[in-house]
Amino acid sequence: MYQLYSNSRSPYSKRVHIYLQYRNLPYETITIALEKLENRKKPFIQINPYGKVPVLVDDEFCLAESQTIIRYLEEKHSFERHFFSKDIQSRALLNQAIQRCESEFCFPGSVIYFAKKFVPEEKWDKNRMKDSLKRIGRHFDILEEILESNDYLHENQFGFLEILYAPFIKQIELMEIKVPPFVENWVKRVLKEPIVSQILAD
């Protein structure tokens, strides 16, 4: 059985919970109390020297980084509808979209989210937040073009990308970002997926 080092408030951990349950893979959760800085102390720091959750343990093998964990599990198991197609260009396009999800949405989104949630307004880095908002706006315009003629981002099926985006699009209201109509419907569709809604409920 897999073990997942995780924290219930961590969006990156939630990605892996969604994936494991979507794929029906048995696992146990080991909670790391970030608020008590357990992630910065032994034994966790020996498991991931960067002190971040999630980390997957597969027997003796430890792996950090949410999208790397999902990719590892997807490559290890042979599922009927694999997230990675056999076609090299389709795989490359998925990799491109994964990269853009991280750098053009999740990263700038976190800048806004963490400021609004944890930092008093007088200490906000407003220029950085404005720049992040601009980047997300451009990213959404690009997603909007895809979603005008597709229900999902890659090969028109719920998949890897939706799992990566899910915990972050759940926070979209707090980020106060203008969301174009097709993206808005996609957000609703993704958050309504039974496993997604169950894991993101709390």
Ligand X SMILES: N[C@@H](CCC(=O)N[C@@H](CS)C(=O)NCC(=O)O)C(=O)O
Binding track over 39-58 against ligand X, x by CB under 6 A: x-----------xxxx----
Which range binds ligand X by CB under 6 A, 10-18, 71-79, 92-100, 142-150?
A: 10-18
Size of the site for ligand X (CB under 6 A): 12
| E strand or H helix that includes residue 129 | helix 126-147
Binding track over 15-34 against ligand X, x by CB under 6 A: -------------------x
| Rg of the chain in Å (alpha carbons) | 17
Burial status of residue 33 (CB atoms within 10 A of its CB: 0-12, 13-18, 19 or more): exposed
Site for ligand X, residues 65 to 104, rule: CB under 6 A: 65-67
6 near ligand X, judged by CB under 6 A: no
**Residue position matching structure tokens 């990308």:** 161
109 near ligand X, judged by CB under 6 A: no
Contact of 6 with 13, CB cutoff 8 Å: yes
11 near ligand X, judged by CB under 6 A: yes
CB of 37: closest distance to ligand X in angstroms?
A: 8
CB of 164: closest distance to ligand X in angstroms?
A: 9
Angle in degrees, 0-180, between the axes of helices 181-192 and 126-147, rounded to the nearest 10: 80
Strand 27-31 to 61-64 pairing: unpaired
* C-alpha closest to that of 177 among 97, 96, 124, 111: 111
CB of 135: closest distance to ligand X in angstroms?
A: 18
184 near ligand X, judged by CB under 6 A: no
Q: Interface with ligand X by CB under 6 A: which residues?
A: 10-12, 34, 39, 51-54, 65-67
